[in-house]
Amino acid sequence: MAAPEDADQPEALPPRDGPCLHDLDPVALARLVPLVVDGEIAGLLTVALDRMPGEARRRAIETVAAQAALAIETADLTESLHARAGEERFRSLVQNASDVIAVVEPGGIIRFVTRSITRMLGYEPKVPLEEGLARTCAWYRAHGYL
């Protein structure tokens, strides 16, 4: 049995029942509405219309844009709240840890050490920790602590 000549051709699309997006004039009927969050544009709502909008449609589009901006703002606030709660929980865990935990920058500057360092060393550190890890260790080594 021989294959039809157009076997490699895609099937034709079924006929449309009504207008299609491709039938619209994108220049005349597309509307961009800014999504304003905290006084700044967070995005754009794009609306394709079948005709020029009247006042009622324009207000409806602006209402949808305002609701979308509110949803974006709510999502941002929720993320911020979760991040802050996570940071506070982490800070509480670190500050109350029985082990010594330090935050050291790549250059060796010590930005944070838990209060447990005093209990672990048996005394309050004498060298300002901001001077850097190498200098701090050298001081303790020179004084017989390390």
Which of the four pLDDT bands, split at 50, 70 and 90, describes residue 120?
confident
For residues 74 and 34, state if they share a domain. Answer: yes
Per-residue pLDDT of 65-111, as tens digits, reads 889 888 888 888 888 888 888 888 887 887 777 887 877 788 777 77
**How many structural domains is the chain composed of?**
2
Name 108's Cβ contacts closer than 8 Å, sequence gap at least 6.
Answer: 132, 133, 134, 135
> Is 95 in a helix, a strand, or coil?
helix
Which of the four pLDDT bands, split at 50, 70 and 90, describes residue 125?
low
- Tell me whether residue 42 is in a domain: yes
Range of the structural domain that residue 117 is part of: 98-142
- Tell me whether residue 10 is in a domain: no
User: What pLDDT is stored for residue 132 in this prediction?
Assistant: 66
Name 103's Cβ contacts closer than 8 Å, sequence gap at least 6.
Answer: 110, 111, 112, 113
> Which tokens sit at 102?
């330090």
